[in-house]
Homo-oligomer: A and B are copies of this chain.
Amino acid sequence: MAVGSGDLGTLHPVPGITMAAVSAGIKQQGRLDCVVFALGTSAKTAGVFTTNAFCAAPVTLCKKHLAQTSPQFLVVNTGNANAGTGQQGIEDALTVCLKIAELKNLPVNTILPFSTGVIGEQLPVEKICNVIPDALDNLQENNWLDCARGIMTTDTRPKAASTQVQLNGQTVTITGIAKGAGMIKPNMATMLAYVFTDAKIEEEVIQSLLENAVNKSFNRITIDSDTSTNDSCLLTATGENSVQVTQDSTEFIEALDAVFISLAQGLIRDAEGASKFVTVKVEEGASKEECLELAYTVAESPLVKTALFASDPNWGRILAAVGRAGIQDLDIDKIAIYLGELCIVENGGAAPLYSEAAGQQVMDREEINIRITLGRGSATETIWTSDLSHDYVTINAEYRT
List 12 interface pairs A-B (beta carbons < 8 Å), by A numbering: A51-B324, A84-B345, A89-B349, A120-B314, A182-B303, A226-B302, A229-B320, A306-B393, A310-B398, A312-B397, A312-B401, A392-B393
Instruction: Specify the main secondary structure of chain A where it touches its partner.
Output: loop
New A-B pairs, 16, CB < 8 Å, besides A53-B322, A120-B316, A307-B397? A52-B323, A84-B315, A84-B316, A86-B347, A87-B349, A118-B314, A118-B316, A119-B319, A119-B320, A120-B315, A183-B320, A185-B324, A224-B302, A224-B303, A227-B323, A229-B323
Q: A227-B324, A323-B55, A350-B86 are in contact. Are A81 and B397 (CB under 8 A)?
A: no
Tell whether, in the assembled complex, residue B396 and residue A393 are in contact, meaning their CB atoms are under 8 Å apart. Answer: no
Tell whether, in the assembled complex, residue A400 and residue B323 are in contact, meaning their CB atoms are under 8 Å apart. Answer: no
Q: Which residues of B contact A55 (CB under 8 A)?
A: 323
Q: Is A390 an interface residue (CB 8 A)?
A: yes
Complex: A53 Cα to B83 Cα, angstroms: 40
Q: A83-B320, A84-B345 are in contact. Are A53 and B327 (CB under 8 A)?
A: yes
A306 interface neighbour in B228, B306, B319, B396, Cβ under 8 Å: B396
Size range of the chain A interface in the assembly: 35 or more
Q: Is A317 an interface residue (CB 8 A)?
A: yes
Q: Is A187 an interface residue (CB 8 A)?
A: yes
Tell whether, in the assembled complex, residue A316 and residue B81 are in contact, meaning their CB atoms are under 8 Å apart. Answer: yes
Closest 6 pairs between A and B when the two form their complex, measured CB to CB: A119-B316, A86-B349, A54-B323, A310-B397, A306-B396, A120-B316
- Shortest CB distance A204–B (Å): 29
Complex: A323 Cα to B81 Cα, angstroms: 15
Closest residue of chain B to A302 (Cβ to Cβ) is B224
Q: Which residues of B contact A400 (CB under 8 A)?
A: 312, 314
Closest residue of chain B to A122 (Cβ to Cβ) is B350
Closest residue of chain B to A391 (Cβ to Cβ) is B393
A53 interface neighbour in B309, B330, B394, Cβ under 8 Å: B330
- Near B by CB (< 8 A), chain A positions 9-60 give 51-55
Tell whether, in the assembled complex, residue A303 and residue B393 are in contact, meaning their CB atoms are under 8 Å apart. Answer: no
Q: Mark A317-337, 1 if CB is under 8 A from B, else 0.
A: 101111111010010100000
